[in-house]
Amino acid sequence: MRSRLAADHPHAQREVERAVAEVTRRVGHEPVALPAEMAAARALVDRLQRSGELDDGRLAALASTGHLAETTAALAAMAELPLHLAERAMQHERSDTLLVIARAVGLSWSTVRAVMALRSREHGLSLAEVAQCLASFERLSPATATEIIKFYRRRALGKSPLDLQ
């Protein structure tokens, strides 16, 4: 599809690439990283977690320096969620799931904002979007976020959502 569009519109090569990337991202078929890159990211995150260095500050540093795969793997590890759920949160246009994960693991707003900036680097974030996310983040109680994360875990394991003990 991409090559056909590019051939039909050679003068708009950049716009074709951007549009195809956006559609692919929205559909959710494009992984956050290539398998080898994600494996390396998971290995790094595992080492950080074992050594007790995986925390809010480390996640903020990963996000601020553009490490998408590592940031995604870190979110999954910190929330004890399957990687595909963290990838979905990072790819989704809306920030709801990301905010739930962040609140459940006790991230600071500055770290959340760095993660949001990383995931939206293609299209940017307006001040209104940031303000709306901050308001949602502040309204979301840690207890509610934790219950939602438990639901995600159960669903990922194929267990009944009613079995939330």
Q: How many CA atoms lie within 13 A of 39 on its CB side?
A: 3
- pLDDT tens sequence across 117-164: 998 885 677 889 999 999 999 999 999 999 999 999 998 888 655 554
| 4 belongs to a structural domain | yes
**Structural domain tally of the chain?**
2
Structural domain boundaries, residue 19? 1-30
| 41 belongs to a structural domain | yes
Q: Are residues 1 and 70 in the same domain?
A: no
| 161 belongs to a structural domain | no
Residue 125 burial (10 A CB sphere; 0-12, 13-18, 19+): middle
Q: What distances in angstroms separate CA 112 from CA 83, 115, 118, one per listed residue?
A: 18, 5, 10
Look at residue 14 in the predicted model and tell me its pLDDT: 62
- pLDDT tens sequence across 56-100: 999 999 999 999 999 999 999 999 999 999 999 998 888 999 999
Q: Are residues 106 and 140 in the same domain?
A: yes
Q: In angstroms, rounded to a whole number, what is the distance separating the alpha carbons of residues 73 and 84?
A: 9
Q: Are residues 6 and 39 in the same domain?
A: no
Contact 32, 91 (CB under 8 A): yes
Q: Are residues 15 and 46 in the same domain?
A: no
Identify the CA nearest to 117 among candidates 71, 154, 78: 71
Structural tokens at position 35? 């398998």
Q: Kindly report the pTM of this predicted structure.
A: 0.76
